[in-house]
A and B are shown apart, each in its own frame.
Chain A
Amino acid sequence: MRAPILIACLALAAPSAFAATAQVSVEIPRLDVAEYHRPYVAVWIEREDRSVAANLAVWYQNKDGKDAKSGKSEPGTKWLADLRQWWRRSGREQTFPIDGVSGATRPAGQHQLSFSSDKAPLAGLAVGKYKLVVEASREVGGHELLSIPFDWPPQAPQHLSAQGEHELGALRFDLNP
C-alpha cells in the first residue's frame, strides 16, 4: 500500500525535484550622504561573449517623474542609460516595462530574487559558462558593477558571493541542482 503512495508523491514532486534553482541576494548599502536617491539596479546573466542570456531584474523609476524646478515630465527610463553596461548589452534593445523584469527602485537592505530552471527567464538556459552580473547606478552618486562566474546547470549546491565597495554591498548567489 505504501509503495504506490510514495511513487505518487515522487511523481508530484518530479518537476521541481529536477528543476535547478538560483537565488540571488543583492544588498543595497545604507549610505550617509547629503542627497540620497535609490539606485537603479540591473541583474542579468551574461554569456562568455558578454551577450545577455537572461535579464533577471531591472529596478528603476517606473513612473514618469517631474523635474522639481521646471515641473516638466520626465520618463522614468531617462536615467537607464546610466546602467551603461546593461544598457549597452540589453537595455537599448528593450521596450519598457520589461514583463517580469522591470521593478521599482528598492530601499537599502537585502533583496532576494528566486529563479527556477523550469520557468522564465532561466528555462532554456543552455549548458555552459556564465556570469551573474549586477550593476548599480545612483543619481548624484556612484556606479558599481559586480559579477560572479558560474556553470549552468549546477552539479552540486554552490554558494557564491562577491562584495561591493560603495554602491553595492554583499552579493550572494546560491545554486542548487
Chain B
Amino acid sequence: MNPMTKWSALALAACLPMAASAHKAFLVPSTTVLSDGDDAWVTVDAAASNDLFNFNHRPLPLDNLLVTGPDGAKVEAEHVAKGEVRSSFDVHLTKPGTYRVALANSGVSASYVDAKGEKKRWRGTVEKLGEIPADAKDVEIAQYDSAVATFVTLGKPSDGVLKPSGHGLELVPVTHPNDLYVGEAAKFRFLLDGKPAKDLKVSVLAGGTRYRNKQDEMTLTTDANGEFSVTWPTPGLYWLNAALEGQKPTVAKAKDRRLGYTATLEVLPQ
C-alpha cells in the first residue's frame, strides 16, 4: 500500500460505522440557506477530525461523492481538491430547492490469515471478494453501508432529495434540514432498509468542541416509528450520527453488517 492509498483508507475507515478510530467524519457546507436566485455557490469541506468542525486529521476521499439537485439529477462537484487535512469542492446551485451532498460507502470488508500466517485486512465490493486468496484461513467478512451527508437550500426548500432510497441506514427529516432554528424542536426519522429503525441511539454534538471543556453530546433514542426530536440549545453547525452493527447481512458470505449515518446540520439563530 503506498502512503497515499494508506491515508485514504484510514480516512475512509473513519467514516465507516464502528471503526476503531474515534475520528469523526463530516462535511462542512459554507452556507446552507441561500437567496441568490438561480446562480449560487457553496463550498464544502470533507474531513475526519477529532474536533468538530476543525480539520486536524485526514481528508475524506471524494470518490463516492454524490450531489443531488432538487429535481433528483446529479450535480457535478466543481473545483475538487484534496489537501493534507481536508478535501473540498464547490457546488453550483442553479435551480431553487434543496440539494443533498453525500459521501456514501457500501461494500464488504474482510480479515483473514494468509498462507504465510500473516493477519490481513481487505476491503472492496462484493464482486471483488475473489481477491481474498482461496487458501486464506479465519476469513471474517462484514458488509458495510455508511453515509456522510449534508443539505443546502437555494430559495424555497423542497423535499425531493429527502426521500429515502430504502437501502441502509437513512435519516428522513420530518422537520426540513434547512429549517432548523435555536430553541425549536426538530423531528427526524431513521430508517433501516426502508423500515423504522427503532431504539436506535443517535448522537448529536454542536460544533466548536475545541473551544469547550466538555463534548456536551446529546444522546437520543428513536421510538417505535424510528423518530426522535432535538431541541437545539445554541445556533451553529451540529454533527448527528447513528451507527448499528450485528445486523443481518444481505451479502451471502458476510457474517456481520455494520451501518452508519452522519449528517451536518446548520441551526440558525432566531
Co-assembled chains A and B: yes
A→B interface (CB under 8 Å) = 74-75, 77-81, 84-85, 87-88, 91-93, 96, 143, 145
The CA-CA distance from A81 to B155 in the complex, in Å, is 9
CB pair A85–B270 under 8 Å, yes or no, is yes
Given contacts A92-B155, A92-B157, A93-B156, contact A79 B270 (CB under 8 A): no
- A–B complex contacts, Cβ < 8 Å, 29 sampled: A74-B36, A75-B36, A75-B37, A75-B39, A77-B35, A78-B34, A78-B35, A78-B36, A78-B40, A79-B35, A80-B35, A81-B33, A81-B34, A81-B35, A84-B33, A84-B268, A85-B270, A87-B33, A87-B35, A88-B179, A88-B181, A91-B35, A92-B35, A92-B155, A92-B157, A93-B156, A96-B37, A143-B269, A145-B270
The CA-CA distance from A78 to B33 in the complex, in Å, is 11
The CA-CA distance from A81 to B40 in the complex, in Å, is 12
Secondary structure type dominating chain A contacts: helix
- Taking CB atoms and an 8 Å cut-off, the chain B residues in 13-46 that contact chain A are 33-37, 39-40
On chain B, the residues within 8 Å of A80 by CB distance are: 35
Counting from the closest, the 6 A-B pairs by CB-CB distance are A81-B35, A78-B36, A80-B35, A92-B156, A75-B37, A75-B36
Contacts A81-B35, A91-B35 known; 7 new A-B pairs at CB < 8 A: A75-B37, A75-B39, A77-B36, A78-B34, A78-B36, A84-B268, A143-B269
The CA-CA distance from A143 to B37 in the complex, in Å, is 22
Question: What residue of chain B has the Cβ atom nearest to residue A79's Cβ?
Answer: B35
On chain A, the residues within 8 Å of B157 by CB distance are: 92
- Taking CB atoms and an 8 Å cut-off, the chain B residues in 211-270 that contact chain A are 268-270
Number of interface residues of B (CB under 8 A): 15
The CA-CA distance from A74 to B268 in the complex, in Å, is 24
Question: What residue of chain A has the Cβ atom nearest to residue B157's Cβ?
Answer: A92
CB proximity of B235 to chain A, nearest CB, Å:
10
CB pair A84–B179 under 8 Å, yes or no, is no
B149-166 vs A: 1/0 string, CB under 8 Å?
000000111000000000
On chain B, the residues within 8 Å of A91 by CB distance are: 35
CB pair A84–B156 under 8 Å, yes or no, is no
The CA-CA distance from A50 to B163 in the complex, in Å, is 27
The CA-CA distance from A79 to B33 in the complex, in Å, is 10
On chain A, the residues within 8 Å of B181 by CB distance are: 88
On chain A, the residues within 8 Å of B39 by CB distance are: 75
On chain B, the residues within 8 Å of A143 by CB distance are: 269
The CA-CA distance from A92 to B39 in the complex, in Å, is 15
The CA-CA distance from A80 to B40 in the complex, in Å, is 13
Most buried by A among B36, B156, B269: B36
The CA-CA distance from A93 to B87 in the complex, in Å, is 34
On chain B, the residues within 8 Å of A77 by CB distance are: 35-37
CB proximity of B41 to chain A, nearest CB, Å:
10
The CA-CA distance from A77 to B155 in the complex, in Å, is 10
Question: What residue of chain A has the Cβ atom nearest to residue B36's Cβ?
Answer: A78
The CA-CA distance from A74 to B37 in the complex, in Å, is 10
Question: What residue of chain B has the Cβ atom nearest to residue A80's Cβ?
Answer: B35
On chain B, the residues within 8 Å of A93 by CB distance are: 156
Question: What residue of chain B has the Cβ atom nearest to residue A87's Cβ?
Answer: B35
On chain B, the residues within 8 Å of A75 by CB distance are: 36-37, 39
